[in-house]
Every structure is written in structure tokens, then in C-alpha cells.
Structure 1
């Protein structure tokens, strides 16, 4: 189950947040070859965030995946930062991405683990 957690000091409208979450969920599923029904995405907006000694709009995007193929990271970083620019009004050069490969047995859904 891929999980995308976005933290930003930007203040997009509710429709912009929803559009970002929908687009990000689809991109993550497509690039990783996962079923979109198992992708979860969360966004926190309006945070106090300083990046590169500035409080201009910035975002931290963290994607946790079971069995992440690192060859996909550059494509994901490009697509996700582009969506942050479009929907959240954060410049690509102010989007910091982190990709985490979660080992099997460390990810659960309901009363089971993968």
C-alpha cells in the first residue's frame, strides 16, 4: 500500500487540495503498477515551514512503499513536484521528496500484514 504524505506551508483551496490528492493517487498507482484502491494520500497545508532560509511556498513529499523500485524515484519526484506546482502553487525547486522502501511484514491493512 503506497502512502503519500505531503506537508506544505502553501494554502491551496479545498478543490485544489482534492485535485492534488486525486492526481497524486493516480500517478503513484500508475508509476508503481499498483492498484489505486490501495494507494493512500494525505496533505497538510498552511504549516509553518522554512526551506532554504525562506518561508516562500514549499512542500515536503514523502512516499512510503512496500517493495519500492528505486529506478522509479526520479519519475515520481518529477511528476509529484509538477502536480505540487499546478495544484498547490509550490515551485518545483521548493519541493523536497523522500522515498521510503518499507520491508515486507512492516505494513498492515486491517488485521493482516503484507
Structure 2
């Protein structure tokens, strides 16, 4: 049930992007103790993005999940930043991450909510 949505203006092949997303998905599932079978990723590449007046590439990523403990967010922040930085060749200072703990009754799969 975790969802990782990544938006970047970096120029990356679909094959390389799929590899990065797969690595990020495994990382998230390991830290959150969630099954990989329910992890979903989404990628928007070559997006028009700004961050101040920086001309270098950027990444914005959102991780949504049912149950997102604070100590997990700290670890995820560091590890996802490293993974996204390496995979998309983007400086960590140009990466924003947002984490959202979604209540069970607000997340549905297969026509039913989890709560």
C-alpha cells in the first residue's frame, strides 16, 4: 500500500528510471516492513521544475503509506535522498521529500478501504 511518486527534470532513460524506482521501492518496504507486492511507484520525468534560481536538475518525491512512524521518516529521508541522488544524478540539496501517513479509512484497494 505504500506509494512513492517521483517527479524530476533529470534526463534519464526509462530503463534506468525503472531500476532506481525498484531500488527505492525495496528500500521503503524494508524500512516500513511492508510487502513489496503492494508497493506502487509512479514517475514523471522531464518535468518543468524550478527551485530558486538553480539551473541544475531537481527531484520532488512523495511517499504515502498507512502507518509512517517518525523514526522511519528520519531513516527514509536519508536513504531515499541518497538513492534518488545517485540514481538521477541530482545533488541532495536539490531534492525535496514529503511523507504522508494516510489513515486506513482514506486508502482503498480492490474496491474497499483498509479501515
- Asked if Structure 1 and Structure 2 have the same fold, meaning a TM-score greater than 0.5 normalized by the shorter chain, the answer is yes
Confirm or deny: 8 A CA contact 1:7 1:47 kept in the other structure.
Answer: yes
Tell me the C-alpha RMSD between the 2 structures. 1.0
Q: Which moved more, 1:103-112 or 1:26-35?
A: 103-112
The Cα of 1:67 is off from its aligned counterpart by 1.5
State the secondary structure of the residue aligned to 1:4.
strand
Q: Structure 2: how far apart are the matches of 1:91 and 1:98?
A: 17
Confirm or deny: 8 A CA contact 1:49 1:55 kept in the other structure.
Answer: no
**Normalization by structure 2: what TM-score?**
0.94
- Runs of 5+ consecutive residues of structure 2 not aligned to the other structure: none
Displaced runs of 4 or more, over 2 A:
none
**Normalization by structure 1: what TM-score?**
0.95
Equivalence for 1:66: 66
Q: How many pairs does the alignment contain? A: 114
Equivalence for 1:30: 30
Confirm or deny: 8 A CA contact 1:84 1:91 kept in the other structure.
Answer: no
Deviations along 1:74-110, whole A, 9 cap, x unmatched? 2111111111122111111111000001012100101
- Runs of 5+ consecutive residues of structure 1 not aligned to the other structure: none
